[in-house]
Amino acid sequence: MAVSSRIQKETQRMLQKPDPGISATPHEDNLRYFNVIIAGPQDSAYDGGVYKLELFLPEEYPMTPPKVRFLTKIYHPNVDRLGRICLDILKDKWSPALQIRTVLISIQALMSAPNPDDPLNNEAAEHWKRNEKEALDMAKSWNRQYAMN
């Protein structure tokens, strides 16, 4: 599977100048597949947690968005139980001008600012709308249980 020079450049840049709280390392045997670690953003329900994600660049990248999902369980209205993420730039707002790092920074930002009006996890979204403090407590509890071991 050939890897474009763009993917190589993006990978080099992320390895040489990582963004705070984000690391993305390509697999040795498949440079389109990345192990991602995102630190829970400060002052969020996920503060102190370490979240593992997987990111895969389809053959059509950068014309199509990367496939990204959480491997660490997270209680969040925009992440379903399979770890799939509801984020506009991963769907209809994707642009080839965006990069892997832009996607990861956006996911980290989404962790700080859940959007219960565009849910992937309807149960969590309803919880957020009904009682935000209780939903945040649940997110903190899951953070301690799944992301802080």
Alpha carbons 101 and 138: distance in angstroms, whole number? 29
Sign of the torsion angle spanned by Cα atoms 76, 125, 141, 131: positive
DSSP 18: P
Rg, Å, the chain Cα set: 15
Q: Is 3 a catalytic residue?
A: no
- Predicted structure pTM score: 0.94
DSSP class of 113: S
pLDDT, residue 1, reads 53
- The pLDDT value given to residue 144: 98
What are the DSSP E strand ranges found in the chain?
22-26, 33-39, 50-56, 67-70
CATH number of domain containing 81: 3.10.110.10
> What would the DSSP string read from start to end of 90-104?
GTTT--TT--HHHHH
29 contacts 45 by C-beta, under 8 angstroms = no
**Number of structural domains the chain divides into:** 1
User: Tens place of pLDDT for every residue, the chain, 149 residues?
Assistant: 567 899 999 999 999 999 999 999 999 999 999 999 999 999 999 999 999 999 999 999 999 999 999 999 999 999 999 999 999 999 999 999 999 999 999 999 999 999 999 999 999 999 999 999 999 999 999 999 999 97
Distance from chain centroid for Cα 27: 18
Contact 66, 53 (CB under 8 A): no
Rounded distance between C-alpha atoms, residue 51 and residue 11, angstroms: 20
Domain that holds residue 46: 5-147
Q: Which of 36, 38, 45, 86 is catalytic?
A: 86
Write down the pLDDT at residue 128: 98
pLDDT at position 100: 97
